[in-house]
């Protein structure tokens, strides 16, 4: 016969399993975002904009993001 303590243990176990899955999924999603940002920084070179003021030429580096 299944008593209440068994049902509580099964329910608590399933909740812990789901919480662990969600924690792992969140960490993986966070790492994916960090990896994607780093990969885009490595691939995308900064644009160089030339601003001419009289005879003075100044270059500004502007990020593409």
Q: What integer pLDDT is reported at residue 21 of this predicted model? A: 96
Q: What is the pTM of this model?
A: 0.48
Identify the pLDDT of residue 48.
62
What is the spatial distance between Cα 61 and Cα 44, in angstroms, rounded to a whole number? 13
Contact 51, 60 (CB under 8 A): yes
Condensed to tens digits (0 to 9), the pLDDT of residues 5-60 reads: 988 999 999 999 999 999 999 998 888 877 777 766 666 666 666 655 555 544 44
């Amino acid at each position: 016969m299944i008593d209440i303590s068994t049902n509580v243990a099964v329910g608590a176990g399933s909740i812990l399993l789901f919480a662990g899955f969600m924690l792992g999924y969140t960490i993986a999603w966070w790492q994916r975002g960090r990896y994607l940002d780093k990969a885009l920084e490595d691939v995308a070179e900064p644009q160089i904009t030339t601003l001419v003021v009289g005879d003075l030429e100044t270059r500004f580096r502007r990020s593409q993001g």
